[in-house]
Structure 1
Amino acid sequence: MENFLSIYLNDQLALGVGWRELAKRSRAANRETALGEALGTVSTGIAEDVATFEHLMRRLGIRRNLVKTSLAFAAERLGRVKPNGRLVRYSPLSRFEELEFLVMGIESKKQLWATLRDLAGLARRLPDVDFDALIDRAGHQIAAIEPFRERAGREAFGGPNAA
């Protein structure tokens, strides 16, 4: 079973690295805006979550799979070249998709912390880790960017109240 936990944690770490890089890219693309400020906070929180996750893995004696994290890093970079409806500029679709993917990633992170706490029994093995606080932090991250995600979706798709 410990091998399954190692595989699961390395898969989740790779995803976390991808979300971290996406958050940094999105923050840079929206700098000097209210969204950029919110993404700065979220980006810092995601980076802290990845560091917390790496620390948990070390405490559990689980080695980091550099291939998986390197592939996640490369996949995020490759995702930058996909068509977005504009040839060279940042598009409303890019903004929406970045925010949509970030919200999905943060929601999955909430599930991750609950899984580790409840199903993997880490609350018992690591009683000093406040999994509830980690879940709450993810909720705050979503709350910080959700209004911007909704606005970006309306702008991208021409929905009600589009700017």
Structure 2
Amino acid sequence: MINAVTKTVKRARNGSVRGSGPTLLGVYLNDHLAGASAGAQLVRRMTRAHHGRAFEPQLAELTEEVREDLRSLRRFMDVLGVRRLRSRTAAGWLAERLGRLKFNGRVLSRSPLSDVLELEAMRLAVEAKADCWRSLRGLARADARLDPDRLDKLIQRARRQSQSLEAMRTTAATHVLSADVRADAAETRPAVVGTAGGGTAGAPRS
């Protein structure tokens, strides 16, 4: 992908990109812009859902960082002369909202499993963002308009964000699924009923 993007940039500089449609670089960055916009909306909703709970400080910090990352991506697009496509951004906006309908065991109310699914989705969004930073970092070798030091810092931050989300996801999954297993075991365990003779129901009589 990096080689294709690099070639597109060179063709654009030489005026050899045909047609008025977006270049490969434009399509690539707009796809990531849509994903980043959806991720920013998702993490804001997660922070609200975790108000007063253990993950709130970490998610609040992540919300600010994701907002900064989104601004960084927009600046990179401006520097590279990539036009933002509203249709793709809107598609990301819609996809995030449709994602709320993903099955989580409940129809109208928020399920405890929602925490796990949202943390998984957010970690995937961060991993995709890291891929974008790495692609631009490779492009920076051929395009002096990109700041490699800034991209290195963004890559490191995305790695830290992914690790933080994975730690929260593991904690949430263990808590939710363990509680579910215990509840299921309690429901299926046969009842023990005391008898007048001090034995238990079903115990053989001497």
- Measure the CA separation in 2 of the matches of 1:98 and 1:48: 20
1:91 to 111, 119, 127: 111
Do the aligned partners of 2:38 and 2:93 also contact (CA within 8 Å) in 1?
A: yes
When the two structures are aligned, how many residues end up with a matched partner? 161
Question: Equivalents in 2 of 1:119, 1:87: separation in Å?
Answer: 45
Q: Do the aligned partners of 1:35 and 1:145 also contact (CA within 8 Å) in 2?
A: no
1:47 CA displacement: 1.1
Which structure has the higher relative contact order (CA within 8 Å, separation 6+)?
1
Q: 1:12 to 1:84 in 2, by over 3 A?
A: same
Q: Map Cα deviations across residues 100-132 of structure 1 (whole Å, 9 max, x no partner).
A: 111111112112111111146466332365111
Higher mean C-alpha deviation, range 87-96 or range 52-61: 87-96
Q: Does 113-122 or 21-30 show the bigger shift?
A: 113-122
Correspondence list, 1:120-159, <5 A = 121=141, 124-127=144-147, 130-158=150-178
Q: Runs of 5+ in structure 2 lacking a partner? A: 1-7, 10-22, 183-206
RMSD: 2.2
Secondary structure at the aligned position of 2:47 is classed as helix
Q: Is the 8 A contact 1:20 1:47 kept in 2?
A: yes
CA distance in 1, matches of 2:105, 2:178: 14
Q: Which amino acid aligns with 2:130?
A: K
Q: Which runs of 5+ in 1 are unaligned?
A: none
Q: Which moved more, 1:95-104 or 1:77-86?
A: 77-86
Once residues 165 and 84 of structure 2 are traced to their aligned partners in structure 1, the CA distance between those partners, rounded to angstroms, is 30
Secondary structure at 1:125 match in 2: coil
Distance apart, 1:145 and its partner CA: 2.6
Q: Aligned AA for 2:27?
A: I
Q: Report % sequence identity.
A: 34
Q: Give, as a single letter, the amino acid of the residue that structure 2 aligns with 1:105.
A: A
CA distance in structure 1 between the partners assigned to 2:154 and 2:125 by the alignment: 14
Judging changes above 3 Å, is the alpha-carbon distance between structure 1 residues 122 and 18 closer, same or farther for their aligned structure 2 residues?
farther
Q: Aligned partners of 1:17 and 1:57: how far apart in 2?
A: 14
TM-score, normalised to structure 2, is 0.71
Encode CA deviations 1:130-161: one digit per residue, 9 max, x unaligned. Answer: 111001111222233322100112233338xx
Larger Cα-atom Rg: 2
Which residue does 2:102 correspond to in 1? Answer: 82
8 Å Cα contact 1:27/1:43 also seen in 2: yes
TM-score w.r.t. structure 1 length?
Answer: 0.88
In the TM superposition, residue 61 of structure 1 has moved relative to its aligned partner by: 1.1
Structure-2 change in CA distance of 1:128 and 1:32 (3 Å): same
Quick one: distance in 1 between partners of 2:150 and 2:101? 39
Q: 1 or 2, which has the higher helix percentage?
A: 1
- Mark the CA change 1:122 to 1:53 in structure 2 (over 3 Å): closer, same or farther: farther
